[in-house]
């Protein structure tokens, strides 16, 4: 039987841009919760730790990843028109500290909030503020927690109400692109295999791949020296070894991949105003593949629960 060709929607015209809202004061973290080294100064310093995790670190990363997934499930339940992104940050913050963890983004290089909320054409690092979500929006919520000395980092792009077919296509392909990248990971594979799989799939669906922001090593350090491009780069020939931990977090756009940054020095948007989506997992390499660490203790993966 011939393979059915998937119909790819045409890219719609640009929509009104996301406007900056008011940012509320930084939320407090109880003194009983262990903080990462940068929590007070904002400076994480250079990456100096090994890329391969110990068994003890991996076990703690399972716990951190599980907490991050639980938080994402909780926040996802609150995604609806009329809710502000600051209210989502409050829900996430309260759930993170309730579970005994620290919200990793908080004061990382001065970031003022506990999660990132990136709406529509915002590619990444959106700061939660007073803007209300609107019917038809898409929003990426990026949750990272610090627990037992390690970080767990994950994100999902959610649909707000009734979303147009172009945005649904973007979100679905981006979620699948993450899976394509994960499927390449095993002991002895190369970093460039990840980007090659993601880029090939994105381009076959007429989406562009963000190049300026990539996956990264993660563990005791929020961002370690291991770089994971989501596009093919033959120079990214680092061999993956059992015990390496990192994120894969492709950001795909309906239009081009040119970007610019708001004057808040964090919020990154597409230059052409087209929408962008992202999904992310923290992984550890195994002998025969990899383990997704950002799932709940019962094995639930938030992106599957909220699949559009």
Residue ranges per structural domain of the chain: 55-305
* CATH number belonging to domain 55-305: 3.90.230.10
- pLDDT score at 234: 95
Reduced to 3 states (helix: H, G, I; strand: E, B; else coil), residue 300 is coil
- pLDDT score at 307: 73
- pLDDT score at 96: 98
What would the two tokens of residue 3 be? 């393979």
Which single residue is written with the structure tokens 């990214």? 236
- pLDDT score at 10: 45
- pLDDT score at 172: 97
Reduced to 3 states (helix: H, G, I; strand: E, B; else coil), residue 202 is helix
Which H/E stretch holds residue 200? Answer: helix 191-204
Distance CA(201)–CA(221), nearest Å, equals 30
Condensed to tens digits (0 to 9), the pLDDT of residues 96-135 reads 999 999 999 999 999 999 999 999 999 999 999 999 999 9
- Cβ contacts of 43 within 8 Å, gap of 6 or more: 109
pLDDT-flagged residues of the chain (< 50): 1-14
- pLDDT score at 6: 38
Condensed to tens digits (0 to 9), the pLDDT of residues 263-282 reads 999 999 999 999 999 999 99
Global confidence as pTM? 0.94
Distance CA(241)–CA(186), nearest Å, equals 8
CB-side exposure of 121: number of CA atoms within 13 Å? 23
CB-side exposure of 8: number of CA atoms within 13 Å? 12
- Cβ contacts of 2 within 8 Å, gap of 6 or more: none
Distance CA(115)–CA(94), nearest Å, equals 11
Residue 130 CA, chain-centre distance (Å), reads 22
- pLDDT score at 308: 59
Sheet (strand 259-261) strand order: 122-124, 268-270, 259-261
126, 119 in Cβ contact below 8 A?
A: yes
């Amino acid at each position: 039987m011939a393979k059915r060709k998937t119909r790819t929607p045409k890219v719609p015209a640009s929509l009104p841009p996301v406007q900056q809202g008011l940012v509320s004061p930084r939320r407090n973290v109880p003194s009983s919760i262990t903080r990462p080294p940068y929590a007070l100064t904002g400076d994480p310093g250079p990456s100096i730790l090994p890329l391969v995790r110990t068994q003890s670190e991996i076990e703690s990363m399972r716990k951190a990843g599980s907490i991050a997934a639980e938080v994402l499930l909780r926040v996802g339940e609150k995604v609806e028109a009329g809710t502000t992104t600051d209210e989502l940050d409050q829900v996430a913050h309260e759930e993170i500290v309730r579970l005994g963890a620290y919200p990793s983004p908080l004061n990382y290089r001065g970031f003022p909030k506990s999660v990132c909320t990136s709406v529509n054409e915002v590619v990444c690092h959106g700061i939660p503020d007073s803007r209300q979500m609107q019917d038809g929006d898409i929003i990426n919520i990026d949750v990272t927690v610090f627990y037992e000395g390690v970080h767990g980092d994950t994100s999902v792009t959610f649909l707000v109400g009734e979303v147009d077919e172009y945005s649904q296509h973007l979100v679905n392909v981006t979620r699948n692109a993450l899976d394509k990248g994960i499927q390449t990971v095993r002991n002895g594979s190369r970093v460039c295999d990840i980007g090659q799989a993601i880029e090939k799939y994105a381009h076959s669906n007429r989406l562009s791949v963000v190049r300026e922001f990539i996956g990264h090593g993660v563990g005791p350090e929020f961002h370690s020296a291991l770089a994971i491009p989501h596009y093919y780069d033959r120079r990214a020939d680092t061999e993956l070894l059992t015990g390496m931990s990192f994120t894969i977090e492709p950001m795909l756009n309906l239009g081009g991949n040119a970007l610019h940054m708001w004057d808040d020095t964090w919020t990154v948007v597409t230059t052409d105003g087209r929408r962008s989506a992202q999904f992310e997992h923290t992984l550890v390499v195994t002998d025969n593949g990899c383990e997704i660490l950002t799932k709940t203790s019962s094995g639930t993966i938030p992106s599957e629960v909220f699949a559009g």
